[in-house]
């Protein structure tokens, strides 16, 4: 991984946005990061580490605490890094959790952490992660092959931390090397073998438990006694089968006799039912006779139906004629009223025509005024323009006079103000320094409040998790007791299943005894199946996993709470008395200091501006005096011209009425008279036409009414004659009146229903009579059977058969159960043999691969030890050079004490003494050289293996100050050789010799408003 472009804003000591372009340093540079103490040299490494992993190079520095104290509240802290992996470039941008100024109102608000990751290809960028910080970190770990702790140890040697990588134990070094060399495959082999061996052990235990359960269920100690028990049970089964067949034949014969008797009894019952049905039909005879009479009257009414319909049609014609007559009478009345109204309107229009001549004379008089009105309007327009010119000249004169007075007063005030202003630049600088100090204190105080706010939810979460852990512990205990109870019941159920097959005085299939004083008894409500037992065991395991998860979460919360408390204590110590002040008080102090600085700055600016303004004011006074004299002359000229215009307007206004002094009013008056004249003529014509039309309508309505009255009288006469003929026909048909006739009329559906009922009754009478005769002849010589006696005999045979069947079923169940046990035992023995053979191989491999051996060296650690030997060969070459041939690094091959992992610890061989000793015995400078050599050797070996991770960059933060001059020169030569081999090397140091020997530098310049970055190439 190589950094290409780093952008920092409001991060660490950098208040603004700083950009660091690493490409300006060259292809594979060796450069120095230089600057005074506290300027922000290590913050460059923190920014790179934060951009990649969301954490700094020092575990003690939280990412949220890296916000710059110099930055304004509305500036958001962020870090953006463009870096290269192989031939691809990626851009990652992170924003830490922070408090920023609200967009609306006062105060601050919490902004959540964000992260975006993109793949940069030419001019296009592909979004890989949009916002989630955890997802971005996980993808960075996959891309680089390192987590944050391994990045700190391999690619960055932070200030005071270079010994950690050198002193790491086997477990820690195993984690680093396994990711660098991608040896997870060997770890997966270890886990797979371990899981397989554990599965085989579990299966063997299950098979042994199942075998013991089967033997216990039939009260046997071993499987050899089972064959004899099965042979005895087969003889009992044959005898029970013979007895069952005989009882079945007797039961079947008696059941056939009962079926035949029931059929004969059903025939006697059917004969009685038919006789009862015949009596019911005879009882319906009077109703049938009444239906026949009603049907006859309906036939007579059907013959008179055409005459009834003709009479109804004639009545409708008479009613319609009467309605038409009434409508024509209303029409005649309406026509008569319309004629009277139109006559009145026609007379009024004739009177209006007499006033038209007078209106025409008035119209001619109005039209003669048009030329005079035009002259008056022109004179008025000229008068208005002259007034405007006079007023403009007067206003100009007044405005110039006001400006002149105002400018003279302002000039005097500015002279007085200038004499009172006395601002010192030293005071301005002191005010700015006060603002910076208060702002830093306010930022630290807000961070303290945030930490306190963070601690309270953590404490509540810990308490809640502790309560959940107590409840989950109770749940786990209940599930464990439930599983143990079910396991005991399951074993008892296996024994009881065989005990159910025991018979009195019959030998036991297990022990052979004919006496059974205490057979196993099962409660069927408590029978436990193997599936229920397995479900209870799975439930218990699930409860245990949840309990373990809660314990892990509680431990994490306890650690987080302790970290937060320690951070609060540290912050309070740094703040001192300020920690007792509220953020509101600090904010007020900051605002007051800021207002004082703004006031002093404004005074300095005002003083400079007043001098310039006074010079300009004297020039403006001369110009305004000249403008006032010119404006006064123009005012007098416009007053004379306006007097002449007023005399002309007065003369024209005397000739024109006031309400007609504009063309629009005159045009409206002329148009109004024209409209009145035209309307009078139109009204007379329309009134005459309406009178003529209404006269014709009245004559037509009177004629139609006369004709309709005659038609109505003729229809009424015909109706009276038809009524006399209709009454005669009713009397001849036997109907007393028209109501009697209407009651006798039947619709088609009712008519058919009556006829169908009569026909159906007659058919039923004939059918039932024939059935009674036929059934009586069939049962003439037969007696009704005694079904009760027959059913008792059959029931006795059924009870006997059930007893025999139960004996046979018990014998069959016992024999089947014993054979099933024999089959299951054979299968279990075969499975157990196969598992034991498999474990002989898999178990041995699992023990060897997981480190359960004499050397306590696992498969992955063995592979890594070989790789570590290669790394130490490369590292020792550089260490011998820097230590002038004294030291080289070796892998410790002795086994560690106890169960501690071993095989990857380091030792150093001292050529001066010829002995090896622990790397912990090296001095500070020697440790730095050893750690640097190890990091460089690791970089070489990792890249030498195909598919390995490319470690193209190394940052070293301090450590050179512990070297003497000769060792320093050798270290610099080593770094130069490494840089020429294609590495980017960044060094942070205060050693002046490094500044002289390294031409490429990144200079960090500290100012009162925050640090700045510059490149020296």
DSSP element (H, E) containing 19: strand 14-21
Pairwise CA distance, residues 260 & 238, whole Å: 35
Pairwise CA distance, residues 907 & 287, whole Å: 128
Pairwise CA distance, residues 335 & 696, whole Å: 9
Pairwise CA distance, residues 57 & 48, whole Å: 9
Q: 82: which strand partners? A: 5, 91
- What φ, ψ does residue 112 adopt, rounded to 5°? -75, 155
Q: Which of 70-79, 149-158, 285-294, 709-718 has the lowest mean pLDDT?
A: 149-158
Confidence of residue 946 (pLDDT cuts 50, 70, 90): very low
Q: Is 878 exposed, middle or buried (0-12, 13-18, 19+ CB in 10 A)?
A: buried
Query: For 252-291, what is each residue's pLDDT tens digit?
Result: 888 888 788 888 788 888 878 888 888 888 888 888 888 7
In the three-class reduction of DSSP (H, G, I as helix; E, B as strand; rest coil), residue 901 is classed as coil
Length of the chain: 1017
Phi-psi category of 895—alpha, beta or left, where left has phi over 0 and alpha has psi -120 to 50?
beta
Q: Which of 614, 602, 596, 601 is nearest to 416 (CA)?
A: 614
Most confident segment among 444-458, 656-670, 968-982: 444-458
Confidence of residue 137 (pLDDT cuts 50, 70, 90): very high
Cα end-to-end span (Å), the chain:
22
Is the Cα torsion angle 890, 895, 897, 900 positive or negative in sign? positive
Query: For 169-197, what is each residue's pLDDT tens digit?
Result: 777 777 777 766 667 777 888 788 888 88
Both structure tokens of 163: 């010994």
Pairwise CA distance, residues 879 & 907, whole Å: 13
Both structure tokens of 73: 């509240």
Task: Give the pLDDT of residue 902.
Answer: 64
Q: Which of 109-118, 532-541, 870-879, 967-976 has the lowest mean pLDDT?
A: 967-976
Q: Which of 845, 841, 842, 869 is nearest to 858 (CA)?
A: 845
Q: Which of 695, 751, 819 is nearest to 231 (CA)?
A: 819
Task: Give the pLDDT of residue 787.
Answer: 77
- Residue 524 clears pLDDT 50, i.e. is over it: no
Pairwise CA distance, residues 391 & 369, whole Å: 33
Q: pTM score, two decimals?
A: 0.40
CA angle (461, 466, 469) in 5-degree steps: 125
**Alpha-carbon dihedral of residues 897, 901, 903, 906, nearest 10 degrees?**
-80
Residue 996: CB atoms within 10 A of its CB come to 9
Pairwise CA distance, residues 1013 & 1007, whole Å: 11
Q: Which of 756, 928, 817 is nearest to 500 (CA)?
A: 817
Q: Which of 73-77, 235-239, 948-952 has the lowest mean pLDDT?
A: 948-952
Task: Give the pLDDT of residue 52.
Answer: 93
Pairwise CA distance, residues 648 & 244, whole Å: 151
Q: Where are the beta strands (DSSP E) in 824-939?
A: 887-891, 906-910, 915-918
Q: Which of 824, 1008, 1006, 979 is nearest to 25 (CA)?
A: 979
Query: For 479-516, what is each residue's pLDDT tens digit?
Result: 888 887 887 777 666 656 656 666 666 665 545 556 66
Q: Where are the beta strands (DSSP E) in 530-573?
A: none
- DSSP sequence for 508-531: PTTT--S--SS-----GGG---HH
Residue position matching structure tokens 């780093």:
6
Q: Which of 670, 685, 667, 694 is nearest to 352 (CA)?
A: 685
Q: Which of 992, 684, 799 is nearest to 32 (CA)?
A: 992
The two beta strands, 78-85 and 108-111, are unpaired
Domain 156-181+856-948 in CATH 3.30.230.80? The answer is no
Q: Where are the beta strands (DSSP E) in 146-262?
A: 156-157
Residues with Cβ within 8 Å of 531's Cβ and at least 6 positions away in sequence, in order, are: none
CB 53 within 8 A of CB 63: no
Q: Which of 877, 902, 900, 895 is nearest to 887 (CA)?
A: 877
The two beta strands, 1001-1005 and 1012-1016, are antiparallel
Higher pLDDT, 94 or 360: 94
Residues with Cβ within 8 Å of 402's Cβ and at least 6 positions away in sequence, in order, are: none
Residues with Cβ within 8 Å of 688's Cβ and at least 6 positions away in sequence, in order, are: 346, 349
- Residue 36 clears pLDDT 60, i.e. is over it: yes
- What φ, ψ does residue 589 adopt, rounded to 5°? -60, -40
Both structure tokens of 809: 């079923």
Across the chain, mean pLDDT equals 79
In the β-sheet with 984-988, what is the strand arrangement from edge to edge? 156-157, 953-957, 984-988, 30-34, 1001-1005, 1012-1016
DSSP element (H, E) containing 956: strand 953-957
Both structure tokens of 556: 């994490």
Q: Which of 538, 540, 561, 558 is nearest to 550 (CA)?
A: 558
Q: 792: which strand partners? A: none
**Alpha-carbon dihedral of residues 930, 932, 933, 939, nearest 10 degrees?**
140
Pairwise CA distance, residues 733 & 741, whole Å: 9
Pairwise CA distance, residues 675 & 680, whole Å: 9
Q: Is 923 exposed, middle or buried (0-12, 13-18, 19+ CB in 10 A)?
A: exposed
- Residue 92 clears pLDDT 90, i.e. is over it: yes
CB 20 within 8 A of CB 29: no
Task: Give the pLDDT of residue 163.
Answer: 61
DSSP 181: T
Q: Is 950 exposed, middle or buried (0-12, 13-18, 19+ CB in 10 A)?
A: middle
Query: For 301-360, what is each residue's pLDDT tens digit?
Result: 777 777 778 778 878 888 888 888 888 888 888 888 887 887 777 777 777 767 777 777
Both structure tokens of 788: 């009760």
Helices (H), 72-154: 133-144, 148-154
In the three-class reduction of DSSP (H, G, I as helix; E, B as strand; rest coil), residue 917 is classed as strand
The two beta strands, 984-988 and 30-34, are parallel
Residue position matching structure tokens 């009245």:
698
Query: For 827-881, what is each residue's pLDDT tens digit?
Result: 878 888 888 888 888 878 877 777 776 666 777 778 888 888 888 898 888 888 8
Query: For 348-401, what is each residue's pLDDT tens digit?
Result: 777 776 777 777 777 777 777 777 777 777 777 887 887 888 888 888 888 888
CATH T-level topology, domain 1-145+950-1016? Rossmann fold (3.40.50)
Q: Is 41 exposed, middle or buried (0-12, 13-18, 19+ CB in 10 A)?
A: buried
In the three-class reduction of DSSP (H, G, I as helix; E, B as strand; rest coil), residue 764 is classed as helix
Both structure tokens of 408: 């003279």
DSSP 27: S
Task: Give the pLDDT of residue 604.
Answer: 74
Please report, for residues 842, 848, 850, the alpha-carbon distance to residue 189 in angstroms, rounded to integers and kept in the order given. 12, 11, 9
Query: For 687-738, what is each residue's pLDDT tens digit?
Result: 778 777 878 877 888 788 788 788 888 878 887 777 778 777 777 777 777 7
Share of the chain above pLDDT 70, in %: 89
Please report, for residues 541, 731, 741, the alpha-carbon distance to residue 736 in angstroms, rounded to integers and kept in the order given. 102, 6, 8
Task: Estimate to the nearest angstrom the gap between the alpha carbon of 546 and the chain centroid.
Answer: 27
Q: What Rg, from alpha-carbon coordinates, does the chain have?
A: 61
Helices (H), 90-156: 133-144, 148-154
Task: Give the pLDDT of residue 513.
Answer: 58
Is the Cα torsion angle 337, 338, 344, 347 positive or negative in sign? negative
Pairwise CA distance, residues 975 & 990, whole Å: 17
């Amino acid at each position: 991984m190589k950094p290409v472009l780093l952008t920092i804003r409001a991060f660490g000591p950098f208040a603004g946005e700083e950009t660091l372009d690493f490409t300006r340093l060259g292809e594979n540079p060796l450069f120095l990061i230089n600057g005074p103490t506290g300027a922000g040299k290590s913050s460059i490494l923190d920014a790179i580490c934060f951009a990649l992993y969301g954490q700094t190079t020092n575990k003690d520095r939280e990412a949220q605490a890296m916000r710059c104290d110099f930055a304004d509240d509305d500036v958001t802290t962020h870090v953006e890094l463009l870096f290269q992996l192989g031939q691809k470039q990626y851009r990652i941008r992170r924003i830490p959790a922070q408090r920023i100024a609200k967009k609306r109102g006062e105060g601050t608000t919490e902004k959540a952490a964000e992260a975006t990751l993109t793949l940069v290809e030419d001019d296009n960028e592909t979004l890989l992660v949009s916002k989630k910080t955890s997802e971005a970190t996980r993808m960075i770990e996959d891309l680089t092959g390192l987590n944050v702790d391994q990045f700190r140890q391999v690619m960055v040697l932070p200030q005071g931390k270079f010994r950690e990588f050198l002193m790491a134990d086997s477990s820690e070094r195993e984690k680093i090397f396994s990711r660098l060399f991608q040896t997870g495959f060997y770890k997966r082999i270890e886990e797979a073998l371990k899981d397989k061996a554990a599965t085989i052990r579990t299966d063997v235990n299950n098979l042994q438990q199942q075998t013991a359960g089967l033997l216990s269920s039939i009260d046997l100690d071993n499987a050899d006694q089972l064959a004899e028990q099965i042979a005895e049970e087969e003889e009992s089964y044959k005898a029970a089968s013979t007895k069952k067949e005989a009882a079945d034949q007797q039961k079947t014969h008696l059941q056939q006799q009962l079926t035949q008797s029931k059929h004969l009894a059903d025939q006697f019952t059917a004969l009685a039912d038919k006789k009862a049905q015949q009596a019911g039909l005879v009882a319906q005879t009077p109703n049938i006779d009444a239906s026949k009479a009603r049907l006859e009257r309906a036939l007579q009414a059907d013959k008179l139906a055409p005459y009834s319909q003709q009479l109804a049609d004639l009545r409708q014609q008479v009613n319609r004629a009467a309605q038409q007559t009434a409508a024509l009478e209303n029409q005649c009345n309406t026509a008569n009223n319309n004629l009277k109204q139109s006559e009145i309107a026609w007379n009024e229009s004739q009177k209006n025509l007499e006033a038209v001549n007078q209106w025409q004379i008035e119209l001619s008089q109005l039209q003669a005024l048009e030329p005079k009105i035009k002259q008056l309007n022109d004179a008025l327009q000229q008068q208005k323009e002259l007034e405007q010119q006079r007023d403009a000249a007067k206003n100009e004169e007044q405005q110039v006079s006001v400006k002149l007075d105002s400018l003279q007063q302002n000039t005097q005030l500015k002279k007085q103000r200038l004499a009172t202003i006395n601002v010192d630049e030293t005071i301005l600088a002191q005010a700015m320094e006060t603002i910076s100090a208060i702002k830093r204190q306010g930022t630290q105080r807000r961070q303290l409040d945030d930490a306190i706010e963070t601690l309270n939810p953590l404490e509540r979460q810990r308490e809640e998790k502790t309560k959940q852990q107590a409840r989950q512990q109770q749940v786990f205990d209940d599930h464990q007791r439930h599983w143990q109870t079910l396991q005991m019941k399951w074993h008892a159920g296996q024994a009881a299943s065989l005990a159910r097959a025991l018979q009195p005085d019959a030998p036991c299939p297990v022990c052979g005894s004919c006496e059974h004083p205490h057979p196993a008894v099962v409660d069927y409500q408590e029978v436990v199946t193997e599936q229920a037992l397995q479900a209870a065991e799975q439930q218990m395991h699930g409860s245990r996993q949840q309990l373990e998860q809660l314990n892990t979460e509680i431990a994490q919360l306890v650690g987080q709470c302790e970290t937060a408390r320690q951070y609060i204590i540290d912050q309070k110590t740094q703040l001192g008395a300020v920690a007792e002040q509220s953020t509101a008080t600090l904010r007020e102090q900051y605002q007051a200091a800021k207002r004082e600085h703004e006031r002093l700055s404004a005074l300095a600016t005002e003083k400079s501006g007043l001098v310039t303004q006074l010079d300009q004011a004297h020039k403006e006074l001369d110009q305004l005096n000249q403008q006032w004299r010119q404006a006064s002359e123009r005012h007098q000229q416009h007053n004379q011209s306006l007097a002449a215009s007023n005399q002309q307007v007065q003369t024209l206004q005397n000739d024109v009425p006031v309400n007609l002094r504009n063309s629009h009013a005159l045009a409206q008056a002329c148009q109004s008279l024209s409209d009145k004249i035209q309307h009078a003529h139109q009204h007379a014509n329309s009134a005459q036409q309406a009178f003529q039309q209404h006269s014709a309508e009245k004559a037509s309505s009177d004629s139609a009414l006369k004709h309709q009255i005659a038609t109505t009288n003729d229809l009424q006469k015909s109706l009276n004659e038809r009524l006399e003929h209709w009454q005669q026909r009713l009397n001849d048909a036997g109907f007393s009146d028209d109501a009697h006739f209407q009651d006798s009329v039947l619709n088609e559906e009712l008519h058919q229903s009556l006829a169908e009922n009569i026909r159906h009754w007659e058919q039923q009478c004939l059918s039932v009579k024939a059935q009674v005769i036929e059934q009586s002849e069939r049962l003439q010589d037969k007696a009704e059977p005694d079904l009760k006696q027959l059913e008792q005999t059959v029931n006795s045979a059924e009870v006997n058969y059930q007893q025999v069947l139960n004996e046979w079923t018990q014998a069959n169940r016992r024999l089947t159960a014993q054979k099933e046990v024999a089959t299951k035992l054979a299968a279990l023995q075969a499975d157990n043999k196969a598992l034991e053979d498999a474990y002989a191989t898999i178990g041995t491999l699992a023990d060897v691969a997981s480190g359960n051996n004499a050397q306590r060296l696992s498969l992955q650690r063995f592979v890594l030890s070989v790789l570590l030997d290669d790394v130490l060969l490369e590292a020792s070459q550089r260490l011998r050079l820097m230590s002038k041939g004294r030291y080289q690094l070796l892998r410790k091959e002795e086994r560690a004490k106890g169960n501690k992992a071993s095989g990857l610890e380091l030792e150093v061989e001292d050529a001066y003494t010829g002995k090896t000793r622990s790397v912990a015995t090296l001095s500070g400078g020697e440790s730095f050289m050893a750690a640097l050599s190890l990091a460089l050797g690791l970089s070489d070996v990792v890249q030498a293996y195909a598919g390995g991770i490319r470690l193209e960059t190394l940052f070293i933060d301090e450590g050179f100050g512990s070297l003497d001059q000769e060792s320093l020169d050798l270290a610099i030569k080593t770094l130069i050789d490494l840089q020429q081999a294609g590495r980017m090397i960044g060094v942070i140091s205060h050693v002046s010799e490094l500044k002289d020997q390294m031409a490429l530098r990144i200079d960090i310049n500290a100012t009162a408003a925050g640090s700045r970055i510059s490149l020296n190439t």
